[in-house]
Structure formats: C-alpha cells, structure tokens
Structure 1
Amino acid sequence: MKNTTTYALAGAMTLALLSASAASWAKELVAFSQAGMENEWRVMDTKDMEKTFKDAGYDFVWTNANSDPAKQISDIEDLLARKPALLIVAPIEYEPLAPVPDMATKADVPLIVVDRALPGEPGKGKWLALLTTNFVDTGELVAKDVVKGLTEKNGAPKGNLLHITGNKGASPVVDEQKGLDNVLSKYPDIKFVASCDGLYSREPGRKCVEDLFQAFPKGKIDGIVFDSDDMMIGGIQAIKAAGRNELLGYLWGKDGTVDGLQAMINGEARFSVQTPPFFGEKALEVFKLFRAGKPIEPKTQYVPKEIFQRDTDQHRARLPLRIQELKAMGVGCC
C-alpha cells in the first residue's frame, strides 16, 4: 500500500512538473485582424506582420475580413476571446470599426492599430498606438504634381479631373482628399468633375473609368487621380480599350508598385508615392515599450515614404532601380 501511494505521489509530481514546463514553453499569442487580402499590399502587410512576431518568438494568428466591416467586428470578437497578449487591427473603414478600442479595453488586451485610423485617441484605454502613413501629406504631394502637370499640358493651372477613390469612408481616402483639397483649393480652375469608388482594386478601378467615360467623352477631362496604383492599372486598361490615349501621361497613382512604376516608365502614368505595408517592426517596438513600462511617444507614428516622378532624367532613372529593389525583396508592391 505504501509503495502504491508513493508511486501515485511521484506520478502526480511528475505531471505537475511537466505541466509547469509546458506552460513555460508555451508561446504568447499575437492576433492580427486584417481588413482584406484583395491586393498585394495587404498580402505583404500580413506576411511582414507574421514574420516579425514569429521571429520574435510569439505564436501568431490572423483573420481576413474580406473587406466586410461586420465580419471584421466578428473576427475581432473571436480573437479577443482567445485572450492574446496583443491585438493588432488593420481596419477596413473608420466609423464601422469605431467600437474596436473599447472592445480591446473591456477585454483587457493591448491594441495597436495599423494603416487606417479609428475614432478615438491612441494612448487611451488599451489602445497603445496608431501606426500609419500621413495620407494628408500624400494627398498634398499628389495635388502639387497635378498642378505642375496640368500647367504643362494647358499652359496654366486648369483642367477637369476624374477621381477614382479607394474604399469610401476609409481614413486614407478621407485624409488624402483633405490633402488634395488643401492644395487645389488655391487653384479654382482645377476641378474634380466626378468620382467613383474603385475599392483599391484593379478590376473595380477599370470598371469605374469605363463607366465614367460614358459621361465624359474625349475633350471633357484632362487627367485622372487614382488612390492606388492597382486601380490605375485597371484604369489604363479601360483607357486603351476606349481609345482614350490622350489621357496617358496624365494619370496620378499611389503606392509605388512594380506595375505602377512600369506604367510611368512606359509614359502612361505620371506620378506615384509610396504607401509602405511594413508595420511589423514598429508594432513590435511599441509592444516591447509597453511591456517594459516605458512611454510610447508619439502615440501616432508615421512610416517614411518616397515619391516617384518622371519629369526629370534623375527621376526617370530612379524608376527601374526601384523595380529592381522590389523584385530583389521578392515583392511587387510599395
């Protein structure tokens, strides 16, 4: 009887030790809610985030909201139920995702928001920081080149433009429009005569341009501003199909993709500006500061970016070099 009891106690102690060891080996979970995977930018954003945190020793799980705000809210509820060490959210739209900071605070899970903003204030509750691009500045950069391009084309800063926007209601779209307006408000003879939501994707961008051409035949518009290079490539397809080659060379994009840069080399597009998808390192840095009890400043942090133009020999020479850089990294985007 004594031996049986001794063996039972020894077995229980062994199980306890194994459980304790397993607990010490278990990796903490980082959860990422991605807005969608509809283009290479989002694919690279997700891959970068996953690699960064896995390399740092965390388990990593991510969800794809498929550009559906209701699904993204549901995804976030499911992720929070898993009690991750950190929740990272790339929101689809501004207002529909407004509950997210409170959801994270109530679940007592630290939150980092990347790419697009949300209502509320980073630094309040469990919302640690917003990591994004200064899209107002992006809009201003695009608008300044619009003024330059239309002045060259028409002899004065004047002309009618179409605007193919990204997802309406998304903070980059709102902020980029502010930047465009900040500059173009000084040039009343440059006007946006129509816009269409191209959903940041190639085929919707093509369809937008195709549809708008029905209302704006040749001679009625001087150029098109696209909120992404993907939409611009779709737009170029529509332009060529419709025989509207007078617009080639007066297309403004955003993201600095391989295809967008090639369109500039081909003389089809005029301008693009980076929207880098690589937020992983900054997110990890913020999380480490939080864990160390150190201040996170500023609460809104911007990633650096580069502009791409074709108006000088130096600018044109940069385009194929950037394509080579992207291909060497195994990416086609940003």
Structure 2
Amino acid sequence: MLVRHMKGMRMACALAMGAASLIFSMQADASKGLVAMSQSGMENEWRVVNTKDMEKSWKDAGYDFVWTNANWDPAKQLSDVQDLLARKPKVLIVEPVEYEPAAPVPGMAKKAGVPLIVADRAMPGQPGKDGWISLLTISYEDTGVRVGQDVVAQMTKKNGKPEGKLLHVTGNTGAAPVLEEQKGLDSVFAKNPGIKFVAKCDGRYSREGGRKCTEDFLQSFPKGSIDGIVFDSDDEMIGGLTAIKAANRDDLKGYLWGKDGTADGLRAILDGWASYTVQTPPTFGALAVKVFNDSQAGKPVQPVVYSDKKEFDAHTPEHRALIEQRLKELKAMGVGCC
C-alpha cells in the first residue's frame, strides 16, 4: 500500500512538472520574440521613464524585452550592442551616448542581420537605409530656436533692446541633441548679435553637473556682469538654481532657461526663478512598435519620426494656468518629468 502510494505521488509530481513545463513552453512560444535596447544612461528621471515606457510598450505588444545601461560610456555601449546582437533579437533599439562614437552601430546590426531603430539621439548614417529602419527623436534644433526666441524677448524687456551676456550649461559634449540645439540657438542669436554666450560648461544633463558649473560661473562672473543662464536640461537648471540661491544671486531671478518640461522645472517658472522650458517627451515606445510593425509589413516608414512637444512659461496668466494644469497631469501619472 505504501509503495503504491509513493509511486502514485511520484507519478502525480511528474505529471504536475510536465504540465508546468508545458505551460512554460506555451508561454514562451506565445512571445513574438526578443526586443533588445541599449540605453545611454539612467542618470535622471527622464531616462527612467524613457526606459520604462519602451519596456511596457514592447511587452504590451507581446514581445520579451531586455535592456542594458551604458552609463554614458561610448565604449561600453558598443560592447553592450555586441552582446545584445549575439542574442539575435527581432529588433535592436539604441539610444546613443554620443554621435560620432556610435558610428559602428548600424554596421554591427547589419552584419548580425538585426533591424535597427535609433531613438532620442542621432548617430552617423542615414535612417531608412542599410537596415536602419528609422530615427525616433525630437527636433532639438527647433528646441534651440524656441529657447533662443524667449531669451531674445526677455533680454529685450530687461535691457530695452536685444542685448545680453549669457552663460551656457550644455548637455554632454558631442551628443547630437547638444549639437542640434546649439544650431537652433545660434540661428536666433545670429539675427540678434547683441546677445552672446560669454562662457559655457558641460553639465552632462545632471543636477550635480548643473550645480558645479553654476558655482564655477558665479565665482568668475560677479553680479551685474551677466544677464542670464541657459541650461540644456531642467535637471541642470535645478542644480544650478541650488548654487544661485546659496550665493544669493537674486540678479539672475527670472533669467534662467531650461529644457524638458520637468515638474521641478515648471515649479521654478511658477516661483519666478526660470523664464521658460520646453518639453522633451521621453515616450518613444509606441512609436518604436509602430515603426517596426509597419516595416515588417512592408508599409512605408518615415526615416525620421518626430515626437510632439509643448513649451511652458508664465508670461501671461493663461500660460501660468497651463503650467498648473500640467503639474496636475504629472501628479496623476505619478511621474515628475516630461
């Protein structure tokens, strides 16, 4: 009786294990395949939301998803890409650390026979060719134009004409958004030669970088010697604002410009410290899925797909109300950025 009972238990366990294996196999087979992503870094909330959005979009579409963090090291990103391609994903998504160092990526993907989608930042090459499906991005040059236009308007109000000496805390030197945004700024200031950047510093898109750059600036440029500071990100601006407040530099109040439309950046505008910020939406996931599906179906795909954005200031009561509404939206979403 005992032997028969033990045999029965072993058979039941084997059946259960077999059933579990079958279920696992069915789940694995249900996946449409693996999607791989090389993320440039995870230094701020924009990148966190960006990665989460990409992962959720692909998983909702039925794919497995894996990603790596290059930690802002171009050499590590190339190594990450090589490792990801070895896993033979259905598609590889890369958000480049810097423009030129990412040049080998399209060739690597083509050699591995893996379609490539580039997001956020550009890299050398032509989207839509050689297996590079598309570039999903924001027009950073347009962003630079918009920031520059607000700078001109505020300098004109402050000085009676479009004149002013500005400091510039840039993002990562050599990154495509930095280069393109600078083009936009330059195009506006070329028409307003009285406005000039007198110094710049690489804040690496981080709060700490923005704080350190601003501290150094304030030591070199005393009160009355500069008219404002342009930051390539709201995170840098908030870090810079910490230094400005610590140094009691109220002369800069209202003459700070950011980018990204983060909750803290919007609050800085409402508090009167910042003049303007423009969105840099981190949500490329749905676009990536659509571009890939259209490509696989033989449908036409635009080589460059731009994400929409909004700009924010408190120059009028109506604009201030839009910021307050946006802050409510961000709170409802449980995120502090975009």
Note whether the superposition's TM-score is higher than 0.5: yes
> 1:11 matched to which residue of 2?
none
Instruction: Give the one of 47, 71, 80 matched to 1:66.
Output: 71
Q: Distance in 2 between matches of 1:256 and 1:181?
A: 22
Q: Distance in 2 between matches of 1:20 and 1:47?
A: 26
Letter in 1 for 2:240: G
Q: Is 1:122 the counterpart of 2:144 in the alignment? A: no
Letter in 2 for 1:58: Y
* 1:193-232 aligned within 5 A: 193-232=198-237
Q: Is 1:325 the counterpart of 2:299 in the alignment? A: no
Q: Note closer, same or farther for the CA distance 1:224–1:325 as it changes in structure 2 (3 Å cut).
A: same
Instruction: Give the one of 292, 310, 314 matched to 1:310.
Output: 314
Letter in 2 for 1:264: I
* 1:154-173 aligned within 5 A: 154-173=159-178
What root-mean-square deviation, in Å, do the aligned CA atoms of Structure 1 and Structure 2 show? Answer: 1.5
Letter in 2 for 1:80: L
> 1:291 matched to which residue of 2?
296
TM-score by length of 2: 0.92
Greater CA deviation, 21-30 or 176-185?
Answer: 21-30
In structure 1, stretches of 5+ residues that fail to align are 1-13
Q: Percent identity?
A: 65
TM-score by length of 1: 0.93
Q: Distance in 1 between matches of 2:125 and 2:315?
A: 41
Q: Note closer, same or farther for the CA distance 1:82–1:159 as it changes in structure 2 (3 Å cut).
A: same
Q: Is 1:182 the counterpart of 2:187 in the alignment? A: yes
Secondary structure of the 1:62 match is: strand
Q: Note closer, same or farther for the CA distance 1:28–1:244 as it changes in structure 2 (3 Å cut).
A: same
Secondary structure of the 2:218 match is: helix
Letter in 1 for 2:41: G
1:188-219 superposed Cα distances (whole Å, 9 cap, x missing partner): 11110000000000011000000111211111
1:32-74 superposed Cα distances (whole Å, 9 cap, x missing partner): 1000000000000000000000011100000011111111110
Q: Note closer, same or farther for the CA distance 1:227–1:22 as it changes in structure 2 (3 Å cut).
A: closer
> 2:15 matched to which residue of 1?
none
Secondary structure of the 2:123 match is: coil
Q: Is 1:41 the counterpart of 2:50 in the alignment? A: no
In structure 2, stretches of 5+ residues that fail to align are 1-17
Q: Distance in 1 between matches of 2:209 and 2:186?
A: 24
The alignment covers a number of residue pairs equal to: 317
Secondary structure of the 1:118 match is: coil
Instruction: Give the one of 229, 237, 261 matched to 2:242.
Output: 237
- Partners of 2:34 and 2:90 within 8 A in 1: yes
Letter in 1 for 2:314: R
Q: Distance in 2 between matches of 1:264 and 1:79?
A: 42
Secondary structure of the 2:244 match is: helix
Instruction: Give the one of 153, 159, 165 matched to 2:158.
Output: 153
Letter in 2 for 1:34: Q
Q: Note closer, same or farther for the CA distance 1:146–1:103 as it changes in structure 2 (3 Å cut).
A: same
- Partners of 2:169 and 2:201 within 8 A in 1: yes
Q: Distance in 2 between matches of 1:218 and 1:246?
A: 7
Post-superposition shift, 1:187?
A: 1.0
Post-superposition shift, 1:22?
A: 7.7
Q: Is 1:253 the counterpart of 2:254 in the alignment? A: no
> 2:82 matched to which residue of 1?
77
